[in-house]
Amino acid sequence: MRKNRTIPFANKIKFAIVVDGDCESWYFQMLRRNEKGINVDLKPEIPQKKKLKEQFEKVTEQSKHYDKVFWIVDYDVINSETASAKKGTETASQELKRYITQLAKKYKNVVVIINNPCLEFWLLLHFESTGRYFDDCESALKQLKKHLPDYEKTSKYFTKQDNDIYLKLKPNLKTAIANAKKLKAFDLDNPQTAMSQMQFLFESDELKSIIDV
């Protein structure tokens, strides 16, 4: 009797990545495009509505269908909404903290990743070891452009064939992870702290092999 052949990666681990912006989605699409050797099926997801509640609902729904779900949160949006909240109402920061607590209790396959202020700070860590707090994304973007002068928040820039954002940064990925791990622990009650927790994704058992490639 002929033995059944084993098909490599026939049953891939499935990761959903819930994001609230196009840049994050493009970044993870490029990770998926370039890292073909990993046994992971990555699916970036942008909720149709981007309010925290809709993102949280998307995360909990995806947790039923994927092995792991990573929720990427840009904290500059949370900060802005918290600052403009009416007195006596739940702020965006308090709402996020409530969701994170619920996820920790009931959804063991969900990982929350905070970038403060935004994805551009994670990109900056590929070039600098810095704990400088940027109070908005524009400030972080200005610093990033010292290293990537042509940087644009466009699909064309992020996804350019053979020169996409992931390929540009991949040689410095280990540096970015090391720099992210040097940062202070993030405190939701005192969030004026520079933060990127993207290492949680790259150091997961299923993806950590790409760090040394």
Task: Tell me how many domains the chain contains.
Answer: 1
pLDDT > 50? residue 135: yes
Instruction: With respect to residue 5, please indicate whether it lies within any of the assigned structural domains.
Output: no
Identify whether 96 is part of a domain: yes
Percentage of the residues of the chain whose pLDDT score is greater than 70: 95
Q: Taking 80 as the threshold, does the pLDDT of residue 136 lie above it? A: yes
Q: Is residue 6 part of a domain?
A: no
Distances (CA, A) of 21 to 44, 48, 76, 158: 10, 11, 12, 13
Residues 6-43: tens digit of each pLDDT: 444 457 899 999 999 999 999 999 999 999 999 999 99
Mean pLDDT score, 66-72 = 97
Q: What are phi and psi of 58, to 5 degrees?
A: -65, -40
Average pLDDT over residues 46-71: 94
Instruction: Please give the C-alpha separations between residue 145 and each of 123, 138, 139, in angstroms, as whole numbers.
Output: 10, 11, 10
What pTM does this model have? 0.92
Residue 1 lies inside a defined structural domain of this protein: no
Could you tell me if residue 41 is inside a domain? Answer: yes
Reply yes or no: is the peptide bond before residue 171 cis, omega within 30 of 0.
no
Asked whether residue 133 is domain-assigned, the answer is: yes
Question: What percent of the chain has a predicted confidence (pLDDT) above 90?
Answer: 81
Contacts of residue 103, Cβ cutoff 8 Å, sequence gap at least 6 = 59, 60, 71, 110, 112
pLDDT at residue 98, rounded to an integer: 97
Over residues 78-84, mean pLDDT: 87
Residue 56 lies in a domain: yes
Q: Within a domain: residue 53?
A: yes
Domain hosting 61: range is 13-212
Sign of the Cα pseudo-torsion (202, 24, 116, 163, in order): positive
